Structure 1
Amino acid sequence: MSFWETITGSDLTREVKAFDARAAALPADYQAAWEEIKLHLVPYSDFTGRNLMPIFDSGLALLEEAAADGQDIRDVLGDDVKGFCAALAGGKEAPGYRDRWREQLNRNVARKLGQLGG
C-alpha cells in the first residue's frame, strides 16, 4: 500500500468494492443480510475504517460458506443481526477519536482544577 493510498483511502474503496462483488454472487436474502451487517458494523470502526476490513472479510466468508451449504440466513445470523455484528466485532464498540479527545480534555481539565485547588 502506497502513502497516497493510505491518505486517500483508495485501497479501502477497492476492498469494499471487492466485498460487494463477492456479495453480489450470494442469494438475495444473503445480499440483504450483508447490507445490514455492513450497516451494523460501522459503529465499530476506527477513524479510518481500516480495522473493519478483516471483520468484513470474515463475515462475508461466513455468509459465502453458509450459502454454499444451503443454510437459511436466519439459521446463520439468528434474529439479532446487531448482536451478531457486536460478537463479530469483538463485543463492544471501539473507542473512536472523539472518545480519545474527550478523555484527553477531561484529564487536562482535572489537572488544571487540581493545580488551582491545591
Structure 2
Amino acid sequence: MNLWERMTGSDLNREWKAFEARAQALPADHRAAWGQITVHLFPYGDFTGRNLMPILDSALGLLEETAADGASVHDVLGEDIAGFCAALAGGKGARTYRDRWREQLNRNVARKLGRLGG
C-alpha cells in the first residue's frame, strides 16, 4: 500500500468491498449477523477504522467457517452479539475513540481554564 492510498483511504474502500462480497456469499442468517457485527464493532474503531480491519476479517472468517460447517450463528456467537463484539474488540469496558476524545477535551478545557483563572 502506498502513501496516497493510505491518505485517501482507497485501500480501506477496497478492503471493505471485498468484505461485503464475501458476506453476500453467506446464508441469510449469517449475513444478518455480519450486519450486526459491523454495527457493534464500529464504536471500537479509531478515526479511520484501520484498527478494525483485522478484527472484521477474523469475524467474517468465523462466519464463513460456521456457514461451511452448517452450524447456526447462535451456536457460535451466542445470543448477545454486542457482547461478543465487545469481547472481540478488547473486552467489556474497553476504551473507545469517544472515551479518548472526551478525556482529551476535558484535559484541554482544564488547561485553558487553569490559564484563564491563574
TM-score category (smaller protein): 0.7 to 0.9
Query: C-alpha separation between the residues in 2 aligned to 1:55 and 1:43?
Result: 13
Larger-gyration structure (1/2): 1
User: How many residue pairs were aligned?
Assistant: 115
Structure 1 residue runs without a partner (length 5+): none
8 Å CA contact 1:37, 1:81 repeated in 2? yes
Per the alignment, residue 44 of structure 1 pairs with 44
With normalisation by structure 2, the TM-score equals 0.86
Mapping for residues 1-118 of structure 1, pairs under 5 Å: 1-91=1-91, 92-96=94-98, 98-99=101-102, 101-106=104-109, 108-109=111-112, 111-112=114-115, 116=118
- Separation in 2, partners of 1:82, 1:9: 27
State the 1:31 CA deviation: 0.5
Cα distance in 2 for partners of 1:64, 1:28 equals 12
The residue type equivalent to 2:97 in the other structure is P
Q: CA distance change for structure 1 residues 64 and 94 in 2, over 3 Å: closer, same or farther?
A: same
Please provide the CA RMSD for this pair. Answer: 1.9
Q: 1:69, CA displacement in angstroms?
A: 1.1
